[in-house]
Amino acid sequence: MPPYWYFIQVKCRYENLKESTPFINSNNDEDHSYDGKNMALYEEEMDSTPMVASLLNKLANYTNLTQGVREHEEAEDGGRRVAVMVPQMGTFVGVYLPCMQNILGVILFLRLTWIVGTAGILESFAIVSMCCICTLLTAISMSAIATNGMVPAGGSYYMISRSLGPEFGGAVGLCFYLGTTFAGSLYILGTIEILLTYIVPTATIFKDNNGEATPNNMRVYGTCCLLLMALVVFVGVKYVNKLALVFLSCVVLSIMAIYAGAIKTLIELPEFSVCLLGNRSLKNELFESCAKMEVLNNNSVTTDLWNFFCESEYGNATCDEFFTLNNLTEIPAIPGLLSGVIKDNLWSNYGPAGMVIEKNNLHSESPQIPSTDRDQYFVFNDITTYFTLLVGIYFPSVTGIMAGSNRSGDLRDAQRSIPVGTILAILTTSFLYISFVLLFGACIEGVVLRDKFGVSVKKNPVIGVLAWPSPLVIVIGSFFSCCGAGLQSLTGAPRLLQAIAHDGIIPFLQVGDQRFLL
C-alpha cells in the first residue's frame, strides 16, 4: 500500500472516532480516559502554579516536625493504616522557616531585655556576636557535609553518621538527643513562667514569708505541663503538625509588634512609668499613686506608699529613714529613641544577688543606720550576675539551626536547600538579635531593663511594654511559641534516640529499638 493511502486511512479513522465520542462521559471511557487532563484553552499558560498561590499552599502545608516523626505518623482510615505522604519542600518552607522558628524563642521574649540592661549594649553586642559566629561556623561545617555527595533521608543524625561514619554519628547523635531533651525542659519552664507571672499570677500555690512565689510552683506546674504535652504527643503528632503554622505566626506577629512599638516611640510614648524612691526602683504593682501624700476632697491624705514605709497612716507617724530622706520621682519606662537613654545603657551593671536596682545618674540620701525591714518593696537582683553567666543564658537562643537538616528527606534539593536556608536563617536572626539589642538600649530605661520580671511596670513583660499595640501581644505570642517548641522537642528527641538504637551503635539502647514504643 502506498504511504499516502496509509495516511488517509488513519486520518479517516481519527475523524470517525471524534464524531462518535462528542462527550467526555460517553460509553468509551474505558478506552479514552480524561481524568487528570488539563482542559485549559492555552496549555502552555498552565505549566506552573502562580507564585502567590504556590507560596500560600506551601504555608498551609507547613510543618515544623522532623522527618523521622512524620515517617511514623499514620492516619487511620476504616481500620486500615495509610502512611502520610509529605510534599517535597523548597528552601524557604523546608529549611528557612523551621530554623527561624526554632532560633527565635523563649530567651528573646523573657531574658534578652534583662541581658541588655545587665551587660550593657556594648557587651551585649559581644555576647550576641560570639554566639552567632559559633553557630555560623557549625552551619558551614554542616553545609560541607550536605554538599559532599548525596544527602540521605532521616535528618541530621543520618546525614552525619552516613557521611562521617557511625562512631562520629553516634557521638554527635547522643549530644543532639541530650540537647533536644534539655531544650524541651527550657521551653516548658518558659511556658510556666509566662503563665504564672503574666497570665494567671493568682495561681501560685507555694509562697514565702513575703508573699513571693517560690520555685516549687515551677516544679509542680512544669511537671503537669510535661505530662500534658506527653499525652498530646502520645495521642498523635499529627495534632502538633496542624498547629505548626499557628506557632510560627505567633513568633512573626510578636517580632512585628516589637518593631512597631519602637517606631511608635518617635511619635508617642507608652503610658507606662516607673516610680523611684531616691534612685531605687519600686514595685509599682503594689500601689497606684507615686507620691507620699495626695489631695482628696481638699484634704491631704497619705497614700499606699506611706502605709508601706510608715507605722501608721497618719502624717506624724514614724517612717523608714530612707523613705523620709528621699523624694519620690516618676519617670517614663520607655523614654523613646530620641531621649538619649542609650548613653546610660552602654555600660554593664553587674552585681551580687540581693542588690537593689538603682538609677545610675540619680542621687539618693543614705541613712546612717541602714534598715532592711522595708526592702521587699524595692526591685532586687535575684541572682549574682557576670559576663560568662549571661553568655550561658543567651546561648540557647541561637540554637535550632539543625531544624532544616532534620527535614533532609522532605527537601526537593537537599544539597542546595540545607546550606542556603540554614545560613540565611542564621544571618537573619543575627540581624534581628543585634537590632533588638540596639532598640532595647535606645528605647527602654535602664532600671526597667534590669527588672527581670517586670514588677516595676505593673507586672508586665519588659519587652511587652515596648510592643505595640499591647503587652498582651507578647504574652500570648510567647506563650504559644514556647508551647509549640516544647511539643516539637518532645516529638523529635525520642525519634532521634530510636534512630541511634536502630543502628546498633550503643548496645544497651537496642532494647528500645521498637517503633511502636516510641
- Report pLDDT digits (tens) over 500-510: 888 888 777 76
> Is the torsion defined by CA of 338, 343, 344, 350 positive or negative?
positive
Q: What is the pLDDT of residues 292-327, one digit of tens each?
A: 888 888 888 889 889 888 888 888 888 888 999 999
More confident residue, 88 or 125: 125
- Sequence-distant (≥ 6) Cβ neighbours of residue 420 within 8 angstroms: 91, 95
Site of grid cell 510534599: 87
Q: pTM for the full model?
A: 0.82
Beta bridge partners of 378: 282
**pLDDT given for residue 500 in this prediction:** 83
Distance CA(284)–CA(267), nearest Å, equals: 26
Query: pLDDT-derived band of residue 334, with 50, 70 and 90 as boundaries?
Result: very high
Residue 477's H or E segment, with its range, is helix 471-502
Average of per-residue pLDDT across 378-394? 94
Distance CA(374)–CA(376), nearest Å, equals: 6
**pLDDT given for residue 370 in this prediction:** 74
Q: Could you please report the per-residue DSSP string of 125-150?
A: HHHHHHHHHHHHHHHHHHHHHHTSSP
Q: CA-based angle 345:350:353, to the nearest 5? A: 135
Average of per-residue pLDDT across 103-118? 93
**pLDDT given for residue 406 in this prediction:** 77
CB 479 within 8 A of CB 137: no
**pLDDT given for residue 126 in this prediction:** 96
- Sequence-distant (≥ 6) Cβ neighbours of residue 444 within 8 angstroms: 113, 117, 333, 334, 335, 341, 345, 462, 465, 466
Residue 239 pLDDT greater than 80, yes or no: no
Q: Which cell is 6 given?
A: 496509509
Q: Could you please report the per-residue DSSP string of 28-77?
A: TTTTS--TT----SSGGGGSS--HHHHHHHHHHT---S-HHHHHH-EEEE
> Strands, DSSP E only, in 235-298?
273-277, 280-281, 293-296
**pLDDT given for residue 331 in this prediction:** 94
Q: Could you please report the per-residue DSSP string of 174-232?
A: HHHHHHHHHHHHHHHHHHHHHIIIII-GGG---B-TTSPBPTHHHHHHHHHHHHHHHHH
Query: pLDDT-derived band of residue 237, with 50, 70 and 90 as boundaries?
Result: low
Average of per-residue pLDDT across 93-114? 90
Query: pLDDT-derived band of residue 44, with 50, 70 and 90 as boundaries?
Result: very low
Residue 12 pLDDT greater than 80, yes or no: no
**pLDDT given for residue 379 in this prediction:** 93
More confident residue, 390 or 42: 390
> Is the torsion defined by CA of 452, 453, 456, 462 positive or negative?
positive
Q: CA-based angle 374:379:380, to the nearest 5? A: 95
Provide the 3-class DSSP secondary structure of residue 262: helix
Average of per-residue pLDDT across 403-431? 87
Residue 330 pLDDT greater than 80, yes or no: yes
Site of grid cell 540619680: 362
Q: For residue 487, give the amino acid letter.
A: L
Average of per-residue pLDDT across 53-82? 52
More confident residue, 272 or 498: 272
Distance CA(261)–CA(391), nearest Å, equals: 27
| Helix 156-164, helix 471-502: angle, nearest 10 | 40
More confident residue, 505 or 66: 505
Q: How many CB atoms lie within 10 A of CB 280?
A: 21
**pLDDT given for residue 152 in this prediction:** 72
Distance CA(28)–CA(21), nearest Å, equals: 7
CA 356 to chain centre: 30
**pLDDT given for residue 449 in this prediction:** 96
Query: pLDDT-derived band of residue 85, with 50, 70 and 90 as boundaries?
Result: low
**pLDDT given for residue 405 in this prediction:** 79
Distance CA(203)–CA(9), nearest Å, equals: 88
CB 285 within 8 A of CB 455: yes
Q: CA-based angle 403:405:408, to the nearest 5? A: 125
Half-sphere exposure of 8 toward its Cβ, with a 13 Å CA cutoff?
Answer: 5
**pLDDT given for residue 349 in this prediction:** 94
pLDDT above 70 covers what percent of the chain? Answer: 80
Residue 182 pLDDT greater than 80, yes or no: yes
Distance CA(17)–CA(20), nearest Å, equals: 5
Site of grid cell 550576641: 128
Beta bridge partners of 281: 276
Residue 386 pLDDT greater than 90, yes or no: yes
Residue 151 pLDDT greater than 70, yes or no: yes
Distance CA(242)–CA(148), nearest Å, equals: 34
Residue 42 pLDDT greater than 60, yes or no: no
Distance CA(404)–CA(338), nearest Å, equals: 40
Peptide bond between residue 469 and the one before it cis (omega within 30 degrees of 0): yes
Q: What is the pLDDT of residues 240-283, one digit of tens each?
A: 767 778 888 888 999 999 999 999 999 999 989 999 999 999 99
Residue 13 pLDDT greater than 80, yes or no: no
**pLDDT given for residue 33 in this prediction:** 45
Mean pLDDT of the chain: 81
Give which of 110, 309, 298, 82 is closest to 191, Cα–Cα: 110
Backbone angles phi, psi at 453, to 5 degrees: -110, 5
**Lowest-pLDDT range, 73-87, 266-280, 471-485?**
73-87
- Sequence-distant (≥ 6) Cβ neighbours of residue 504 within 8 angstroms: 510, 513
Backbone angles phi, psi at 299, to 5 degrees: -125, 140
